[in-house]
Structure 1
């Protein structure tokens, strides 16, 4: 059975949003079982069956999938069947699903208090540092009326980085050093979700966290950092009729 993780946030009822887990599909190891990514080496036919199963279970409207490249590029939903290189998508149309795929990076879903604007963004450390979330918020002119949900992603305990990554964020804001803890190997445990939360709150966005770790929960989530070759979960949001 397909499992949905839904945001705990005060979004209007007609805004529908969820993140998938790895459960409920037909893909085989190491993509077992609800792999939704066509780019990871899985059997394309099984991925398409998984997408059909997801559509039936969630009754989601048409999805425009992205070719995610760890960029800061945001596009507007157009319904295009071709893969556009971007890591964020926004929509003010009804029945058009913004979607991103992840397997450790931050899936971030957005809506406004009126429920007439939605967005989805994929934020790894590079995209976060280069402003993917800022660029997504800037597609809407009143950040203070926005809310964001950060879905299942790698936790600080599991995300080890080097001096170079830490320095990128400290150069952006000196107070970001608070989100890096040195480990016994002389490297750093980075709190990616908290870095994103702070960045969004500085813009006036209200932020909600799932606090679910993709690496620790092996039975529930795909994790690239843990497994290498693996599947992808999807996070989606749309405005229902």
Structure 2
């Protein structure tokens, strides 16, 4: 149903898997997106199944309307329930969330892009970022880290996403990245480039001040591991995983 990416005291950090739900992708799938061709009832049943598994009521979740940008927003307990049962205009165009509040589950949908999780070892700060090639090029992980005053106390988890062997971009896209990302590209015979999005996001986290021993890369490729949905492998006709991070109330 879901993969736990790191176990930390009273926090929950993970991402849902493909199977174990009520959606037709092709059957018994855990699609977590209300914005694709699936019945809302299926999605809410999938949400409830996850809520029970992680002991975090869906009424306490927060979901933004992602647009592959690099805008971030702080949320609080007052935002709980946003875009969970139905989509609204709230948190539209937001691809990064952070909060200091307990009892709030930050959530976002994925199907190859990189989920980046942050948490502090000193207080209740947590954050979640959606980093496809646009979010990575826009350095959304650094924007989230900059929202916290002491990056040396942050931990970073880079979750399952498409790997460089399965994902390529053209020269125009490569040209939008900074020169210090050059080693994360590899020229292919067709003139396109493999791109290591997980590696670039680790580099960005290091540059922003998070110590290397506080950064974990899952190393899981969503295009190769059939536990997960893959937008690229399935030509867009697939479900979405839900990445999530939250601090349980004590």
Residue 34 (structure 1) shift: 0.2
Residue 166 (structure 1) shift: 1.2
Distance change in 2, residues 1:142/1:99 (3 Å): same
Matched pairs, number = 233
Distance change in 2, residues 1:184/1:208 (3 Å): same
* Ranges of 4+ aligned residues in structure 1 off by more than 6 Å: none
Tell me the residue number matched to 2:65.
67
Q: TM-score, normalised by structure 1?
A: 0.92
Give the stretch that moved more between structures: 81-90 or 221-230: 81-90
Tell me the residue number matched to 1:79.
80
Please say if 1:37 is aligned against 2:38: no
Tell me the residue number matched to 1:110.
118
The secondary structure found in structure 1 opposite 2:106 is strand
Residue 184 (structure 1) shift: 1.7
Residue 175 (structure 1) shift: 2.7
**Aligned-residue RMSD, C-alpha:** 1.5
The 2-side partners of 1:38 and 1:32 are apart by 16
Structure 2 matches for 1:176-195, cutoff 5 A? 176-195=181-200
Residue 66 (structure 1) shift: 1.0
Query: Which deviations, in whole Å up to 9, do the C-alpha atoms of 1:89-128 show, x marking residues without a partner?
Result: 1111111111111000001111011251111111111011
Residue 80 (structure 1) shift: 5.3
Structure 2 unaligned spans of 5+: 83-87
Tell me the residue number matched to 1:21.
17
Tell me the residue number matched to 2:207.
202
2:140 to 132, 140, 153: 132
Structure 1 unaligned spans of 5+: none
The 2-side partners of 1:5 and 1:74 are apart by 25
Q: TM-score, normalised by structure 2?
A: 0.89
Give the stretch that moved more between structures: 141-150 or 78-87: 78-87
Distance change in 2, residues 1:53/1:229 (3 Å): same
Tell me the residue number matched to 2:3.
5
CA contact (8 A) 2:159 2:217 kept: yes
Query: Which deviations, in whole Å up to 9, do the C-alpha atoms of 1:143-193 show, x marking residues without a partner?
Result: 111111011100000011100121111xx2x23111111112121100010
